[in-house]
């Protein structure tokens, strides 16, 4: 009796630069008789690239968010000061709400324009950190018995040999 050891988290069979190549390899492995549920594509981002891009919102998006925040804050401060000076207390009126919304919109638009200008002036290395197309690889993973993993590796090896 032969023992079938299941690979717990799966075995990486191949690493590709684009999803299309990984998908083609996945289909080739599945056509070799390995169950569809055991073959998957893992969209992998290198830890270094992920760390560099962590928390970076740049350009127009960052300017829009910051401008909206500062515009809204300025609107609230202006209403509180203005209402206190005129009425003696912060009045709740449609004009006050409209002023806050208006200053928020103006701040967001100004921030969007300024953010795009700042982003355009950045060097290439800085732009890449905030680029949504962070370098990634697509890994074909087989989660099955050791025999299925070896069978998938043979399929990959045969295809790579034929393409050279």
pLDDT in tens, 46-73: 666 655 555 556 677 888 888 999 998 9
Greater model confidence, 115 or 88: 115
Q: Where are the domains of the chain?
A: 11-45+136-163, 56-129
Q: How far apart are CA 80 and CA 82, in angstroms?
A: 6
Predicted pLDDT of residue 2? 34
pLDDT band, very low/low/confident/very high, at 7 (cuts 50, 70, 90): very low
**pTM score above 0.85:** no
% of the chain residues with pLDDT over 90: 4
Q: How far is CA 12 from CA 29, 92, 160, in A?
A: 13, 62, 16
Predicted pLDDT of residue 155? 87
Q: Which residues contact 7 (CB under 8 A, 6 or more apart)?
A: 142, 143, 144, 145, 146, 149
């Amino acid at each position: 009796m032969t023992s079938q050891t299941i690979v717990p988290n799966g075995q990486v069979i191949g690493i590709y630069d684009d999803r299309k190549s990984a998908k083609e390899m996945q289909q080739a492995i599945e056509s070799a008789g390995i169950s569809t549920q055991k073959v998957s594509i893992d969209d992998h981002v290198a830890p270094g690239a992920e760390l560099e891009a962590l928390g970076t919102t740049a350009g127009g998006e960052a300017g829009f968010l910051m401008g909206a925040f500062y515009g809204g804050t300025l609107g609230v401060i202006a209403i509180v000061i203005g209402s206190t000076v005129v009425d003696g207390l912060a009045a709740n009126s449609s004009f006050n709400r409209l002023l806050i919304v208006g200053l928020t919109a103006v701040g967001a638009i100004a921030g969007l324009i300024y953010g795009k200008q700042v982003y355009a002036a950045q060097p290439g290395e800085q732009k890449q950190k905030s680029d949504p197309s962070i370098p990634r690889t697509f890994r074909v993973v087989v989660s099955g018995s050791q025999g299925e993993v070896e069978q998938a590796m043979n399929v990959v090896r045969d295809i790579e040999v034929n393409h050279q």
